[in-house]
Amino acid sequence: MSETTAMRTAGTLAVAALCWAAAAWWLSRTSVPSLHLSGFDQHTYFTPDEIRRSARFGRGEDLIWLGSTAATLAALAVLAWRLQRSVPSMGLGRIGSAIVVGMVLLTTIWAVRLPFALTELWWEHHWGLGPFDVWAWLNTQWATLGSEVVSAMLAIVVLVGLAGRFRYWWAIASAIFVAIAALFAFTSGWLSAAGTHPIRDPLLAADVRRLERIEHVPGTPVTIQDVSSWTDQANAFTIGFGPSAHVVLWNTLLDGRFSRGEINAVIAHELGHVRSRHIIRAIGWSALVIVLALWLLSLALRSRGGLGRPENLPYAFLILSVLTLLAAPVQNLVSRRYEAEADWRSLNATRDPTSMTRLFQSFQRTSLEQPNPGLLDYLWLENHPTLMQRIAMAERFRELSDRSRGGTGSP
């Protein structure tokens, strides 16, 4: 490579890096003010027994995750070593060989992770978080497994096909995958309604309409999904964006363990995601992660002949798994910022920090979340702020509200 070409390449990479960093900064911005969230003692909000129980449960979860991750990486390393020599002799062509290798990879990963998934199901049952109903759990998995396998195989075919024809295949593939992700995210808001039912409680329905007006997202569908056959934990989520935006509440949230104020805090939180367009911003983050990961993959495989050779697929899976593991702390950091913004919008919509605090105390009991998880949890497994961070935000909101009322002469 000549000096001029090297300088031009370096300049291009520098500009690309600056654009990537600027986009990442813009996507990470939120409306949450600067708040001092330290100085709150977890023992003020949780009993010593609750703290011990959640810590013991969390240690088990950590071990299961570490075991699953290590087993997956080891299996991929073995496949990368064995298939490197056997794939060229298949004589099935580039796409045919890629399909066979892809099926071997997906089947192996599923088989390796299955014992850990079942162990996690038993661990949650052991701590009273749900029934150990393997068949109900498997039926839930089958509902998504087929579509995941089809999506993965299509991705493999696209990657190998593009890499075999184009020098900058990673840029083309990134655009295709982001477009597909955006289309799926948009349509899933409507598709998810098939497994839910409308709110039948008139008081709760009225609360939803009131909170939608406050959050400036009127008409957003809020429905209920029955999950009590396989878990006792409570949850809610937002799916879709724009006209397809949809909020789903688990029926376990409405089984009497949570007060009306706590339920409203959850609903306002999810509507806060809709108002902040977090799904769209998450797609933007996906675009940044995908283009960087595929570019790094192309560099790693260059000396081995590139991804256009199907025998490199196991090695590519291994590299992507490691990159995903390394990127998880950054992705979780961004997710925590979005979740904190949804909490802040919920507080402004409900004006009820007491219910917000009680909600997170209830989550500790119903899901055994740790108020202050360890570093491993926080970096790799926690995509929400910690319970104490969320409680601290509610308490700071209370202080700001009290100060505001005092400044205007209100009692």
How many Å apart are CA 152 and CA 323, to the nearest integer? 17
The pairs formed by 121-129 with CB atoms below 8 angstroms and a separation of 24 or more are 123/57, 123/60, 123/61, 123/64, 124/231, 124/233, 127/53, 127/57, 127/368, 128/232, 129/231, 129/232, 129/233, 129/366, 129/367, 129/368
As given in the structure block, the two tokens for residue 292 are: 């960087």
| C-alpha closest to that of 261 among 199, 211, 336 | 211
Sign of the torsion angle spanned by Cα atoms 142, 147, 153, 159: negative
For position 90, what pLDDT does the model report? 67
For position 174, what pLDDT does the model report? 97
For position 107, what pLDDT does the model report? 93
Splitting the chain (411 residues) into consecutive groups of 10 residues, what average pLDDT does each group show?
Answer: 74 92 95 92 96 96 97 95 75 85 93 95 93 83 79 93 94 96 94 90 97 97 92 94 96 95 98 98 96 96 91 94 95 97 98 97 94 94 96 96 65 30
For position 63, what pLDDT does the model report? 97
